[in-house]
Structure 1
Amino acid sequence: MDSKGYSSYLVQGWKENGKWQRKQYSKLEKAEAFAALKRVELKNEGRKQRLMLCPLTDDQLDQAVKAFDRLGSTYTLDEALEFFLRHHRPPEFTIRLRDAMALYRDDRERDAIRERSLKGIKSVLDQFLRETDNPLTHEVTAQAVEKFLRGLRAKDGTNKATRKTWNNYRNILHSFFEWSTVADVASNRPFAFENPVTTIRKFSARQVREEQEAKPATTSPEDVLRLFRALSRWKGGVMLRYYALLYFAGLRPGEIERMNGQEKALVNLKTKTITIPAKVSKTGHERHVTISNNLAAWLQIAPLPTIPTNFDRMAKMVRKHFKLDHDEARHSFISYHVALHRSVGDAALQAGNSESIVRRHYLNAHSREEGSTFFRIVPEPARRQAVIAPEPEIDVPSHLKAV
């Protein structure tokens, strides 16, 4: 009680910055509350505490305090919770990655995607499955996808994969996980709530183009001649028609496979035209390819079908023996076509590419003489041989005289 007769309550006995402290209250309950808070604070080694009404139990409060301690200043509790729920909150139906991928491939097959694309999808998904050891689909994180993509290697097994390969693998994984998040009663989807690939970088077309070689790989006329000499004698020429369409018509492998069995309707030797319908063309647009004289000669003697039994095995043997790169035959056709005819526009129409692509990659890749030699490689059926036909003579009208 002070000199005026008012009661007060003093709390004292703790240090701050090395100095003893005291605090005065007019009401006892406030002094007791402060003293209790200060005792807890001192017991917890100086950690500031607040007394407040809270629905959490003592155990839950302890867990919250430990969570803040472990997160430190790196993440907030909200950020940690968001990440956990995104990747570890199970949907109503959980499924292992292998089973989800099998359902996805079945869906793509029903969409009538070409066989080569289906093989590519299966290859990428199987590689990712081996890398991640078959987790639950909703538990796959962006970090796991990033690690997988960064681990991709070139054919030599040492150098990093190209940016184009990165994009191709990323696109396949993105499509799969996007499909996994879409509701579907028949397959019990969604299998996950988030697509972990969304945040993974994708290289721009310019970045991909900068990394690619200036000129695509092509086969020299001498090596093409050697190839067709070997094919003329191997297994009765069973692969001749396929490689003739690759090299001398510039068709894509997938287009030839989709043409198989329809050649009578699509290949017209009388008009010297091959029709590539929209459903066969990679671009989804119909185009027409002019049959050169040497291609006509090969088509007349090459046996059907274009895609024989055990085709995949035999095609792999040919590529390996002659060390052919992917699409090397098509690159050769476009390069030699431009070299011989000096027309970027016509080559683009024949190949189903844009003029800018043809100009950038194929113009001036070979000389006109090389183009002429390439398109004079013809069969010699009597000897089951391939030869270079003589250059056609130019007829000069008899009434013209050099003066």
Structure 2
Amino acid sequence: MQLILLSWWKDALTDTKEQEIKDLLGSQLSVIADHVDITAPKPPPAGISLDDAMAQYRKERQLMLDRGQCQPAHHKNVLHELDKWQQGWTNRELSSITAAEINDKLDSFRYQGKSLSNTSKYRYRGTLNAFFLWAIQHDLIQKNPVSLTVAPSRDHISIGILTPDEFRKLLEAALKYDRPMLSRIVLQGLCGLRRSEVVQYKDKPDGHDDIFVSREIAKGPKGKTKDRYIPTSPQIKAWLAVGEWEPMTRDDELRYGYRLDQLAAKAGITIPKNALRHSFASYQAALHPLPDVARWMGHSGTQMTESHYRQGVSRKDAEAYLSIIPDAVS
């Protein structure tokens, strides 16, 4: 069959037929060319330094804040994390930063002298990823090096808690150096409030009634958070009685963390991230049913409390932690 076709084409392709075919192909190519825009490859963007790109990005984020498109506390956290990424990369050309350098820098970050937890690494990586995506959208760079890095798992959360002796030293340091912070530390370490909830707590509780956390300041999706109550105790009442109160807002969250670090240094201890809330959950779970602890923590069930916020402790240590009172009333 192939031989027959080849013979037919050989006979058909006389000079006249060949010219007709060329004319037909030429006319078709002309039609195609009229309807297709042929553009030259886009040249790579001109080199821009990381500092210059970051400056532009910060201005746009500030506009987002001014328009109410992001929360002030979140905005501050993003700027803090961008500062960390910029350190040591001053005047680096944006396109020269590699995935390997990003991984190395992320591993070098420290909090209280310790490596970041996977949750914190995930957040820092996300902040840098958002910046590079913005840079691509503005034609400042062609490739996103963060996309070539491996994202840490958010499911693994390293927690740390304070021993009863460490917690006593922290309380005593606050009593001596920063009494307004003492009241907030009590709300975190003895009532389990989140840091964002602590700084938004409006009025100093007197310790007589249960500690009330309104849904307005609770963390979670709007419409799904609930009011919650944490039972008070003679210990809570005693510490609140010697503490002072100072108005704070959500914007003070970073400043709160800085003051907490200062008190830890004066106490001669190291506070792991969220250690006060973790300590509350761990020590209460050693003495009380987990569903009660989950409710005090503001969780919808016990799974989150068990897997993320509870460290195994003995009843003896729990009783010691929950019986520390000021010397003046001991």
Change in Cα spacing, 1:367 to 1:128, as seen in structure 2 (3 Å) is closer
Instruction: Specify the alignment match of 2:305 in structure 1.
Output: 358
Contact 1:337–1:347 at 8 Å: present in 2 too? yes
- 5 Å-filtered alignment, 1:4-403, equals 85=43, 88-89=44-45, 96-110=52-66, 111-115=69-73, 117-134=74-91, 140=95, 144-152=98-106, 153-155=108-110, 163-180=118-135, 190=138, 192=140, 196-197=144-145, 199-203=147-151, 205=153, 209=156, 213=158, 216-234=159-177, 237-259=179-201, 262-263=202-203, 267=205, 269=207, 271-278=209-216, 280-284=217-221, 285-293=225-233, 294-305=235-246, 307=248, 314-321=259-266, 322-341=269-288, 343-353=289-299, 355-361=302-308, 363=310, 365-379=312-326, 383=328, 387=330
RMSD: 3.8
Report the AA paired with residue 303 of structure 1: E
Change in Cα spacing, 1:306 to 1:324, as seen in structure 2 (3 Å) is farther
Report the AA paired with residue 292 of structure 1: T
Identity score, percent: 17
Change in Cα spacing, 1:127 to 1:220, as seen in structure 2 (3 Å) is closer
Question: Could you tell me how far apart the structure 2 residues matched to 1:268 and 1:157 are?
Answer: 33
Report the AA paired with residue 211 of structure 2: T
Write 1 or 2 for the structure with the bigger share of helix: 2
Change in Cα spacing, 1:203 to 1:352, as seen in structure 2 (3 Å) is farther
Greater relative CO (CA pairs within 8 A, separation 6+) = 2
Is the partner of 1:289 in helix, strand or coil? strand
Contact 2:122–2:151 at 8 Å: present in 1 too? yes
Instruction: Specify the alignment match of 2:4 in structure 1.
Output: none
What are the superposed Cα offsets for residues 42-61 of structure 1, whole Å, 9 maximum, x if unpaired? xxxxxxxxxxxxxxxxxxxx
Contact 2:173–2:263 at 8 Å: present in 1 too? no
Question: Could you tell me how far apart the structure 1 residues matched to 2:248 and 2:113 are?
Answer: 35
What are the superposed Cα offsets for residues 358-391 of structure 1, whole Å, 9 maximum, x if unpaired? 22355561122322332222335xx3x6x4xxxx
Report the AA paired with residue 118 of structure 1: H
Report the AA paired with residue 124 of structure 1: E
Report the TM-score, using the length of structure 1 for normalisation: 0.56
